[in-house]
Amino acid sequence: MNNVMTKERLVQILDQAVQDVTECTAGVRLFQGGQPPENDLCTIQITFDKGFRTSLTLCADTRLLYRMACNSFHEESVSPEDLEEFSKEYFNVLCGRVAGAMFRATRIPAHFGPPVFYRGSYEPKGCEIQFVLTYRNEYSEGAQLIHHVPCSDGDGVISNEE
């Protein structure tokens, strides 16, 4: 494996993508910090299957995702199915932004599978958490973006496949 990006640089890329995509697509400003979301959660997860051995998980208050979906659709309410579809599309756009930024930084093309939506919290198997970014909006609705790496790869850098 080649070490291609430090954890600090990856944190910068992920944070910028979260803030930009969330504000542009859903009209919601997120701020780093605060307590992690605790109750009524939804999780969206993707795995990078080419280019990098990593995965991203967004665990968020359902209220936050609901607010984002309503803003995006310009509706006062959305169905549970619309909430799921919005959440997957939002995360797909977010991960696309991340993949693009990673390519510009490393010249390694990345590919990820389709986002998977879960009611409640979910942690991918065979992975360990490298770091977590915690966010809150002005209504104290929260989310965490969790970066996972394969188990026992704790060297602090993101790696590409050999």
For residue 84, the one-letter residue type is E
Token pair belonging to 100? 């693009």
Helices (H) and strands (E) in the chain, counts: 3, 9
Write down the CATH number for the domain with range 7-155. Answer: 3.40.1550.10
Q: Domain residue spans in the chain?
A: 7-155
**Per-residue model confidence as pLDDT tens digits over 8-48:** 999 999 999 999 999 999 999 999 998 888 889 999 999 99
DSSP-based three-state secondary structure for 1: coil
Contact yes or no for 144/36 (Cβ under 8 A): yes
Backbone phi and psi for residue 6, each to the nearest 5 degrees, phi listed first = -75, 160
| pLDDT tens by residue, 68-112 | 999 999 999 999 999 999 999 999 999 999 999 999 999 999 899
End-to-end CA gap in the chain: 5
Helices 7-26 and 62-73: crossing angle, nearest 10°? 50
The mean predicted confidence, pLDDT, of the chain is 89
Model-wide pTM > 0.95: no
SS (H, E, C) 63-83: HHHHHHHHHHHCCCCCCHHHH
